[in-house]
Amino acid sequence: MKRRYKFTDKNQSKSGIVSSVIGILALFLTGGTLAAAYTEYGQAGKGIAVLGFLALLMAAAGLYQGIRGLREEDSYQLFPCVGCVLNGLLLTAFICIYILGW
């Protein structure tokens, strides 16, 4: 049996994992709302708009959690970085959609 040694006390960041999960959920929700709006030729209705706004709020919360995860000491930075990038890209897409009118 081969033993593995761990020479660090680092653990995965819980805030980073939460950020990544929120980002993935927001990505799927955004994709669903965009697909629904596309199939209805831009006339999807208020329900889809509310889901899109919920995805925007989720992306903002995920970015906040990702930043909290980056500030944790003695933790790996993979999940907080993934969460920050994913949620940041989603927020940029929402800015393009809502403000620029894409």
pLDDT digits (tens, 9 = 90+) for 3-52: 777 777 888 899 999 999 999 999 999 999 999 989 998 888 899 999 99
Tell me the whole-structure pTM to 2 decimals: 0.86
d(CA 32, CA 84): 21
pLDDT exceeds cutoff 80 at 2: no
Taking Cα atoms as reference points, which of 100, 89, 98 lies closest to residue 33?
A: 98
**Strands, E, within 46-96: which ranges?**
75-76
Residue of 97 and 53 predicted with greater confidence: 53
Neighbours of 35 (CB within 10 A): 12
Place of tokens 């993934």: 82
Q: What three-state secondary structure class fits 43?
A: coil
